[in-house]
Structure formats: structure tokens, C-alpha cells
Chain A
Amino acid sequence: MNFSENLLATITGMIRESSEAGLIIPHEDLFEALGQDIILESDCYKISFFEKALDKILEKNADINKLTAKNGVSYYYSSLSMSDTYASILARKHDDTLIADIVRENSQLYPRPVPLSLFEHSPFGFTREQILDQLKRMFGSDGFQDILQTTTSSGNIFLYSSRFLDHAYAIKMAEWIDIGEANNP
């Protein structure tokens, strides 16, 4: 199947532009913006044509990446201006497991616990109530038993995953991050 260079360049440009603006672009938005320009006899055929065009773009441009969220929505971004880390946070923004995921990632990778306040700021942008709601749901359901919390001496809550961090380490690090860092400049 042949795709016009123009079409591929337009789609690639859209993806790069949205990444530059700090956004990942869902499949649907790309299709809406471009779909009407693809003149083919049936919508079904049109969709598959579009899919193939996207595959081609992914194959040809090392910077273009695709992420599929839990609900099946595919997102595209360009690593020229957006990191995998950031894109994956955006792609999971509406997953109810986002907070747990982030907590586990931090516990495993760095390793350290994270303050609740992390989720109040960009790019998460949850209200304190939303965060507490999510936590309540998590603490009461299966699959999240590893997500634990510790409260520092100034009353701030930190979260960690017991899969990767033991309790003593998490407590120590939470206290350090919350109070120790600023007291040891």
C-alpha cells in the first residue's frame, strides 16, 4: 500500500507538535483531524488504511512512540521533546491504578517513597480529595496490599510499595525527604 509522503509528514508533524506542547495525542484525535482527508470507499477500509499509515510512521521515525492505555486507547508522542516517563504518566492519567503504579515505580527504581503532594502537582494535578479517594479505594481492595503509607514527623503522608521497600527504609527516607533535606542544606 502506498501512502502519500504528505500524509505521513502531516501525521508525524501533529504528533511532534503535541509532544512539544506537553501532550500525548490519542489515536482518535489524529484520525479525526486527518480521517476526512483520506478518501476511500468505506469507513472500515479507511480505518485500516489509517492504521497502516501509523504503523509506517512508527517504523520510519525512531522518535515516534505509541503507548496503549489500559482502556485500549492508543497515544502517540515524540521522544524528541517528551520522555517515556512523562508520556506514560499522561497515558495513565485516567487509570485508577496510576497512583499505585507511580508509587511502585519510585520504590523500585530510585528507590524511595513519594509524598502525597507529588500527585497534587503537574502533570498529575489531582485535588487532595481525589488522591485520598483513590487511596481509600486502593487500601480496601485486592491487588494493592503492597501499597503502604507512612506519616512523617511534620504530618505529611508518604507512600511506598512493600514489594520493593521495607518499612524501616521507607520511614527513614520519608522523614529525610520531608524534613532532613531542608535541615541539612
Chain B
Amino acid sequence: MANYGGWVGKTLRVDLSNGNISIENTLEKYKDYLGGTGIGYKVLWDEVPAGTQPFDPVNRIVFGVGPLAGTGAPCNGRTAITTLWPTCWPKSLVASGHMGGNFAAELKYAGFDAIIIYGKADQPVWLCILDGKAEIRDARNLWGEGIRRTSMEISRQMGPRASVAAIGQAGENLVPMSVVINSHSHSAGGVGSVMGSKNLKAIGVLGTGSIRIAGNKEEWEKAVNYHLSLLGANNQHVVPDSPQKWSEYYGPTRWVASPGRRWGAASSSIDTGSCDPHNLNRIAYRTNNAAFFLGERAWKYTVRGNGCSSCPIRCHTILKVPSVSSKYGIPEIGQNTCVGMLFGRNFFRSFPDGPKGETSIEACMVGMSLADDLGIWDNYGQMQRDFQELYYSGILKEKVGSKEFKSYSWDEYEKGSPNFLFKLLRGIALKRDELTTALGMGTGYHLERWGIPEKDWQERPELSYWKMGHPRHHSSEEAGQTGVIINTQYNRDSQCHSHTNFIRNGLPLHVQKQIAVDIWGSTDAIDAMSAYSPMNVYKAKMAKWSILRKELHDSLSICNWMGPWIASPLKEHNYKGDDSVESLLYSLATGNPKSREELDKDSERIFVLHRALTIRDMQTSDMRTKHDTVPKWIFKDQAGKPPFSSGSSAMDPDDIKLAMDMFYSEMGWDLETGAPRTETYQKLGLQDVADVFDRNGLAVG
């Protein structure tokens, strides 16, 4: 086997039932699947029989990273964790969670591209991975501890450079809405309880190894700097949010740096200033997600940006809010991004001092402090939306019984007091009562337990609920039919950012349309948000492209929350980016030259394998009506405007049928069922899938 760079070449296999640890060659087995989710899906296909439940010992949990993880390729910090998803309703199916931080890089330095874990330890353990070796260690003294203390204790044993991915009490107690977290605040949703079911408290990794860059080092330096030159701010927003002296455009983006906006809680306050895109030494100042999400007030509490290993875009913000220490007894320092940052705030409908006042920031601090220690997942904000709806509709009171209901301080809740969160969130992690047990199950199982039909949720746009227990994640509200298609394809929220990061990048529509011509073949691929045109084939091409790029990023270990880089902040390039930057970096790092098209084919193989797993585990090839469903709310506009009118986000049922037809046809799938055909599997090198389906009657001609 050729000596490739990028990968470190070994995959760790751990059977917790018998303590067997073995090592296999990554490339012999998984090279066609690149890494990350690719390895994850492949392991699940090969090793987890249909009908397995998420907490069965035979279920695998695969921590996969790719050839770019741990290198200097920008934004490579994400570990893909693939397993049978415990909140996927009514039946668990394959899905992946993604955590940033330092874990992915450290795993590579420790000598591994992936960890495949199965079985169940007979008592709590943690997995110690140190320079090419692994050891199962006793975790009885860590069981019951939060994530912070667990991380610190394991780091004390392994050394401060160790990266620790740990579950909290929620994961231990098999609460499906639980996370694994590394590097303080980088979580992957949904998988905490799968670790808990295996009695696996944590994984600590530490390595002194290196990742060889196969290509010439000067070329690599050039390629890395080239990629950096295309970066915008978080989510690849390429224009600033206010007029800057260097900028032709501005808009409502996450590029919030500006003269006068300061990291006010830094040890000496720092002006984020003007961040001319040509100055690669100021990329880290462009983004401050605390300011983006919490408002101007957050600047004074900002210590600095934080984030993943190798990523110059610091999407996590470290906040220092001294008052919370005395008021709530929590650390005055907290950090996270997006829904993690909003975790506490989003339970409340209102605050005494308004939506972006002091109390809302305190609620964020309390929420982060609790959720990231107890290890609770919020399913992209669905837990909080469900909670508000259930409370204000009176359903909650009716379902939990009056004794339990009275045990909560609803007065405090309605007033927007962050104190309310302590009892609620601890309760979720401990499954303390009916309310918290139900919330911790995830929307699908929660609604079922309380006898609420799923369709009730699917009719309400404000609940953002999509299907199978999970919410929309960038669907019709911002990307019309393209967003809808993408949201039909996964077994949890779709987590795809390829489309939304382009649509929301802040450039004028006419500039975006010019780029769309290059990538998807026509200006018709995109519309102004909420001024949608009827379906056309270019939108289907965009949907396919977006999904394949997501899988490519998840497998190479570059961040789909940051990419793709098809637009750039560079006026001299007409704001164009480069859709072959992935291929450039992959080829140089690994020494296995692959064109954009070849990598697209790899990602198609990976995505189609995900599809095959879904078909196999659902025991039906009828994806179209059984899986790729859409909630009713997408056909309604909140202001009652008809589909395809300006200002309307309403979709049209027949048009969505056409959208799915066009998408299936772009994928080369069967139009009636939406299942890949035998020849599609064969073309992608998935003959074994075709054979299995041939035998068990799931094949589609």
C-alpha cells in the first residue's frame, strides 16, 4: 500500500465487552470512504445488523476524522461521530454528530484516523489513547461527575495537552438528549447516551506524533494561504455587517468586527477594528458570535474568540460576566457558539429587560454552564421550542400532574429568571420527574409519550419541527425548494450548511447569481430569500451539490459549518471563491491526487451508503413516502401569502413533488421510490450493498 500523507493510517477498534483492543489499517479498509462520516457509515453497514437498537452493545459508535484533520488546512477541527441515533423517531436510524475542539487533531497526533467502539463494559470505564496505544481504564470514580471535572481529572492523569471527550450525567443516565463534549464547549449532540449505554465515560487522547504532508512543503504553504485568502467570517459570510472603509458591500452577517467594537473583557481591551480581507493576520477578529447572537452588550463581556484547532475563524466566544458568579454561583467565564450559547436563554419567552438585555445574557451563562457540564443536547433548539409550547399551551400542566407541576417555580419562569434553569436542567440529566424525563427523550418520543400526534407539531411553522423527532435546519424559510430537499434526506436535523452559508453570505443577489452560474449552471439556482420561483433543475443540482459537499467536508474533516468556499470576500475576484479548494488540499496532503469530480464521486458514495443504511434499517425502499417527507407548515406562509409571491416562504405541494423528482433524477435514483438503483450502487463501487438488497428484496431496478 502506498505511503500516503494526511491519514496516519491506523484505526482503533475497542470491544468494551471483553476489553479487546485491536488496530487495523485505515487505508486498506476505508480509503474509498475518506474518513469521518464515510468511515462511520461503512462500519455501521458492515457491522451493525438491521434492527439493532442504539443502546444494544452491538451498536457501534465511530469517532471518525479525515486526512485533513490535524493539519494546517483551515477549519479542520471536527470529529464526526456516527451511530444509531437515539432520538430518531419512531425507529432509530443512522446519523452523525459533529464536535469541534482539539479532539480531532489530537487523535491524529496520537496515531489514529478513527475509533470504532462497541460492546458494553461491565463497569464504568474511560478510554485512554496515548501515542498509538489504547487502554481501558476504570472510571468508577468519575461516574456521576460532570464533564468539566471529568475532563480535568483525566487531563491531570494524562497531561494538560490531552484532549478529553466526556459525557455528563445525562449521558450516563441514558438520556437520549445528551452530548459528548471536548475542549470545554465543543459538543456533538445525540451520542452521549450511546456512550453511556456502553459504560464509557470518556475518551482521552494525547499524542506526540505527526501528520505527514505528502506534497512539496512550499506548495502546501501556498495552498493553505490561498485557502485562507478565500475565508470570510463564521459561516463563510463574506461581507461585514456594517460599512467598512475597505468594503464595497455590507449586510446582516456574522462579520461583526468594526472599529470601536472591542473585546472588552480581554486582559487589556482589544479593538476588533477594520479587518480588510487581504490581511490574513486579522481573520480571528472578524467573528464574535456572542455579539451576533446576544447583541452589542456582549462586546464588553468578550474575553476573546475561541474555537477549533487550526481554525482561524473563532466561532466560539469566551465571555466573562462577573455578576453571574455571585448571583447564580456559576463560573464567571463561559463559552460556546450558536445554539450552545443560547441554550439557557431559549427556554424563556421573555425577560424583564428585553430580549437582548442583561438577564438574557445571564440566562445564556447559566444555560452553558449547566448544559455543558451535565451534557445535555437541545436538538438545534427544539427542546426549548417544545418546552415553551408545552408550557404556554397548558399541555405540560395537564401531563405532569399537579404535584409535580407545583414543584416548579413557574412564576420565576414567566418572569424570565435564569434561576429556573437549575432545577429543570439538572432534572433532565437525572430523569428526575415526568417533565424532565419526557424532555430528555427528544421530540418524537416525547410527543408519543404524551399522546400528541406528530402532525400537530408539523403544522406549526413557529415550532420549526420537521420530521422523525428533529427540526428543520436551513430549509424553505431561507433556501426554498433546495432547503426542503436537503431537509428530507437525513435521520436527524440535516446539519447541511453548503447552501445556507452561500445564501446568507451578505453579497447582493446579482453577485450571488453570477457565482451560481459557475457552480450550478444558472442564475435560476437561487432566489431572493422568501421570493421564490417555481422549481427548476438548477435548484436540484444545488441540493445535490450541497449534500455531497457536506459529506465531503464531514469525511475529510473540514468544517461544513464554515464552508464551502465558493464565494470569497475578494472584490478583485468578483467575490468568487473556489469549489476545488478541497481537492487541492486533499491532493497535496495525501499525495493521492484527486480532482474535484473524483472527490464528488467519493462523497456521493458516502452519501448513498447513508441512504442504503436508512433503507436497510427501515426495511423499505419506499423512501419517497416513508422517509423523505415534509411537514405541512412549509406550504403555509405566516402572513398568508401564496407560494411564489414576493415575501412568501410558502412552498407549493405539486412543486415540491417536482422538486423531489428532479433531485432523484439528478442523483440517478428511482423516481417512484426515491431509492438508489442497483446500477447506482454498482457505479459507486457499492456492489455489496446491491447484493444485500438483491437478496432481501430491497433492490430497486
The residue from B248, B260, B381, B645 contacting A85, defined by CB atoms under 8 A apart: B248
The answer to the question of B53 belonging to the interface, with a C-beta cut-off of 8 Å to chain A, is no
Report the bound CA distance from A182 to B510 in whole Å: 25
Q: Is the CB of A83 within 8 A of B242?
A: no
Q: Is the CB of A166 within 8 A of B646?
A: yes
The residue from B274, B509, B531, B645 contacting A22, defined by CB atoms under 8 A apart: B274
Q: Is the CB of A168 within 8 A of B646?
A: yes
The answer to the question of A19 belonging to the interface, with a C-beta cut-off of 8 Å to chain B, is yes
Interface stretch, picked from B251-259, B421-429, B442-450, is B251-259
Report the bound CA distance from A169 to B252 in whole Å: 16
The answer to the question of A184 belonging to the interface, with a C-beta cut-off of 8 Å to chain B, is yes
Find residues 329-345 in chain B having any chain A CB closer than 8 Å to their own CB.
337-339, 342
The answer to the question of A154 belonging to the interface, with a C-beta cut-off of 8 Å to chain B, is yes
Q: Is the CB of B293 within 8 A of A182?
A: yes
Q: Is the interface of A mostly helix, strand, loop or mixed?
A: helix
Q: Which A residues are in CB contact (< 8 Å) with B649?
A: 172
Report the bound CA distance from A180 to B503 in whole Å: 14
Q: Is the CB of A82 within 8 A of B246?
A: yes
Report the bound CA distance from A31 to B478 in whole Å: 52
Report the bound CA distance from A176 to B258 in whole Å: 23
Known: A122-B259, A184-B478, A185-B293. A84 touches B248 (CB 8 A): yes
Report the bound CA distance from A114 to B528 in whole Å: 16
The answer to the question of B647 belonging to the interface, with a C-beta cut-off of 8 Å to chain A, is yes
Q: Which A residues are in CB contact (< 8 Å) with B242?
A: 118, 121-123
Report the bound CA distance from A109 to B339 in whole Å: 31
The answer to the question of B243 belonging to the interface, with a C-beta cut-off of 8 Å to chain A, is yes
Find residues 53-94 in chain A having any chain B CB closer than 8 Å to their own CB.
81-86, 89
Report the bound CA distance from A182 to B341 in whole Å: 11
Q: Is the CB of A82 within 8 A of B529?
A: no
Q: Which B residues are in CB contact (< 8 Å) with A182?
A: 292-293, 342
Report the bound CA distance from A183 to B471 in whole Å: 12
The answer to the question of B641 belonging to the interface, with a C-beta cut-off of 8 Å to chain A, is yes
The answer to the question of B249 belonging to the interface, with a C-beta cut-off of 8 Å to chain A, is yes
Q: Which B residues are in CB contact (< 8 Å) with A110?
A: 249, 251, 508-509
Known: A172-B649, A177-B252. A109 touches B245 (CB 8 A): no
The closest CB in chain A to the CB of B260 belongs to A122
- What is the number of residues of chain A that contact chain B, defined by CB distance less than 8 Å? 34
Q: Which A residues are in CB contact (< 8 Å) with B419?
A: none
Q: Is the CB of B243 within 8 A of A86?
A: yes
Q: Which A residues are in CB contact (< 8 Å) with B260?
A: 121-122
Find residues 624-653 in chain B having any chain A CB closer than 8 Å to their own CB.
639, 641, 645-649
The closest CB in chain A to the CB of B506 belongs to A110
Q: Which B residues are in CB contact (< 8 Å) with A170?
A: 647
Q: Indicate with 1 or 0, residue by residue over B503-525, a CB within 8 angstroms of chain A CB atoms.
A: 01000110000000000000000
Residue from B243, B251, B571 with most neighbouring chain A CB atoms (10 Å): B243
Residue from A81, A82, A170, A176 with most neighbouring chain B CB atoms (10 Å): A176
Q: Which A residues are in CB contact (< 8 Å) with B342?
A: 182, 185
Q: Which B residues are in CB contact (< 8 Å) with A177?
A: 252
Find residues 312-370 in chain B having any chain A CB closer than 8 Å to their own CB.
337-339, 342, 355
The answer to the question of A171 belonging to the interface, with a C-beta cut-off of 8 Å to chain B, is yes
The answer to the question of A16 belonging to the interface, with a C-beta cut-off of 8 Å to chain B, is no
The answer to the question of B530 belonging to the interface, with a C-beta cut-off of 8 Å to chain A, is yes
Find residues 147-184 in chain A having any chain B CB closer than 8 Å to their own CB.
154, 166-173, 176-177, 180-184
Q: Is the CB of A112 within 8 A of B251?
A: yes
Q: Is the CB of A83 within 8 A of B641?
A: no
The closest CB in chain B to the CB of A110 belongs to B508
Q: Is the CB of B247 within 8 A of A86?
A: yes
Q: Which A residues are in CB contact (< 8 Å) with B571?
A: 83
The answer to the question of A111 belonging to the interface, with a C-beta cut-off of 8 Å to chain B, is yes
Q: Is the CB of B509 within 8 A of A173?
A: no
Q: Is the CB of A111 within 8 A of B509?
A: yes
The residue from B247, B528, B639 contacting A171, defined by CB atoms under 8 A apart: B639
Q: Is the CB of A86 within 8 A of B646?
A: no
Known: A121-B258, A171-B647, A185-B338. A180 touches B477 (CB 8 A): yes
Report the bound CA distance from A22 to B293 in whole Å: 28
Q: Is the CB of A83 within 8 A of B248?
A: yes
Q: Is the CB of A122 within 8 A of B258?
A: yes
Find residues 3-25 in chain B having any chain A CB closer than 8 Å to their own CB.
none
Report the bound CA distance from A112 to B531 in whole Å: 12
Known: A84-B248, A110-B508, A122-B260. A168 touches B647 (CB 8 A): yes
Q: Indicate with 1 or 0, residue by residue over B560-602, a CB within 8 angstroms of chain A CB atoms.
A: 0000000000010000000000000000000000000000000
Q: Which A residues are in CB contact (< 8 Å) with B530?
A: 169, 172-173, 176
- Tell me the minimal C-beta distance from A40 to chain B in angstroms: 35
Find residues 426-483 in chain B having any chain A CB closer than 8 Å to their own CB.
464, 474, 477-478
The closest CB in chain A to the CB of B500 belongs to A184
The answer to the question of B210 belonging to the interface, with a C-beta cut-off of 8 Å to chain A, is no
The answer to the question of B244 belonging to the interface, with a C-beta cut-off of 8 Å to chain A, is yes
Q: Is the CB of B293 within 8 A of A176?
A: no
Residue from B244, B247, B248, B258 with most neighbouring chain A CB atoms (10 Å): B244
Q: Is the CB of A172 within 8 A of B245?
A: no
Known: A122-B259, A169-B647. A181 touches B246 (CB 8 A): no
Report the bound CA distance from A182 to B645 in whole Å: 25
- Tell me the minimal C-beta distance from B560 to chain A in angstroms: 14
The residue from B246, B252, B338, B381 contacting A83, defined by CB atoms under 8 A apart: B246
Q: Is the CB of A111 within 8 A of B247?
A: no
Q: Which A residues are in CB contact (< 8 Å) with B274?
A: 22
The closest CB in chain A to the CB of B471 belongs to A184
The closest CB in chain B to the CB of A178 belongs to B252
Report the bound CA distance from A85 to B246 in whole Å: 9
Known: A111-B528, A173-B529. A168 touches B338 (CB 8 A): no
Q: Is the CB of B248 within 8 A of A181?
A: no
The closest CB in chain A to the CB of B512 belongs to A110
Q: Which B residues are in CB contact (< 8 Å) with A82?
A: 245-246
- Tell me the minimal C-beta distance from B486 to chain A in angstroms: 14
Report the bound CA distance from A82 to B243 in whole Å: 11
Q: Is the CB of A184 within 8 A of B477?
A: yes
Report the bound CA distance from A26 to B381 in whole Å: 52
Q: Which B residues are in CB contact (< 8 Å) with A181?
A: 252, 504
The closest CB in chain A to the CB of B639 belongs to A168
Report the bound CA distance from A19 to B244 in whole Å: 12
The residue from A121, A172, A180 contacting B639, defined by CB atoms under 8 A apart: A172
Known: A111-B509, A171-B647. A86 touches B244 (CB 8 A): yes
Q: Which A residues are in CB contact (< 8 Å) with B645?
A: 168
Report the bound CA distance from A122 to B338 in whole Å: 26
Report the bound CA distance from A177 to B241 in whole Å: 11
Q: Is the CB of B646 within 8 A of A169?
A: yes
Q: Which A residues are in CB contact (< 8 Å) with B243?
A: 85-86, 89, 122-123
Q: Is the CB of B355 within 8 A of A154?
A: yes
Report the bound CA distance from A84 to B121 in whole Å: 65
Give the 8 A-B residue pairs with the shortest CB-CB distance, closest first. Answer: A168-B647, A185-B338, A169-B647, A172-B647, A169-B646, A177-B252, A172-B530, A22-B245
A to B CB contacts below 8 Å, 17 in the list: A19-B245, A22-B245, A82-B245, A82-B246, A84-B248, A111-B528, A121-B242, A121-B260, A122-B243, A123-B242, A168-B645, A169-B647, A171-B639, A180-B477, A181-B504, A184-B477, A185-B339
9 new A-B contacts, CB < 8 A, other than A112-B251, A172-B530, are: A86-B244, A111-B509, A121-B242, A122-B243, A122-B258, A166-B646, A169-B528, A169-B647, A181-B252
